[in-house]
Amino acid sequence: MDAIIKPIRGKAPDGKSQEFRTAELDPSEFLAAAIRPDQPRLSRAEAEHAVQTLLAYIGENPAREGLLDTPRRVVEAYDELFQGYHQCPAEVLNRTFGETAGYDDFVLIRDIHFTSHCEHHVMPFYGKAHIAYTPIERVVGLSKLARLVDIFAHRLQTQEHLTAQIAAAIDEVLKPRGVAVMIEAEHTCMSVRGIGKQGALTFTSRYTGMFRDNPAEQSRFMSMIRGQPR
């Protein structure tokens, strides 16, 4: 018989025992685009002027030849790097397929490479996401899970929040028996500034359903993502 992971217990302020459960995310975080069509936005000219201000702040001359076109390039780069704000995660997962021949084990995609930006310093962090889910009758196209990672990664993030959003979106839209997400990443806000520790990796994970409740499934997931490197 499979063991069950019980919720962690602690003491409430009144001294009574209480269970600590995983915080629920607001569905608006992962079911719709992050920017509403009616949301006010700065103009491109205002954004480029902000870049000029930052160049002047660091001691540069925004009017010198090498920097004349930099504000435009930076804004164009931001349009690409943060395109995830305009994309809807739920739409990526909505098309599923039912011809699975009764498949009832989990589906795993490992080593999904991504680059995101830390919301604290707006500096890149990058690494790999590993995703597994156990479908009920219908499965989603494999590329859609990689696309889902890209949508959330192309927003300002923390690694913890990115992990939770990916798991919550799959869990809510596909409604599988369980979801497992692990992310390993290097943060340049830690490696190229501040403490300057290059090569340090941060690991985060999120489990739902059968992966949360069954440590044997967690172990199998971990064993498979730690398998022979390609």
- Known catalytic residues? 118-121, 159, 187, 189
Angle formed by the axes of helices 70-81 and 44-57, nearest 10°: 110
Distances (CA, A) of 219 to 21, 38, 171, 212, 224: 21, 46, 20, 11, 9
pLDDT average, residue stretch 132-155? 95
* pLDDT value of position 183: 98
Name the band, by pLDDT with cuts 50, 70 and 90, for residue 229.
low
Between 92 and 3, residue with greater pLDDT: 92
* pLDDT value of position 40: 84
Contact 56, 63 (CB under 8 A): no
Angle formed by the axes of helices 159-174 and 142-153, nearest 10°: 140
Amino acid at 139: V
* pLDDT value of position 21: 44
Q: How far apart are CA 128 and CA 61, in angstroms?
A: 39
pLDDT average, residue stretch 103-114? 95
Checking if the pLDDT of 17 tops 50, the result is no
Return mean pLDDT, the chain: 88
Between 185 and 20, residue with greater pLDDT: 185
**Least confident window among 60-69, 94-103, 175-184:** 94-103
Contact 90, 32 (CB under 8 A): yes
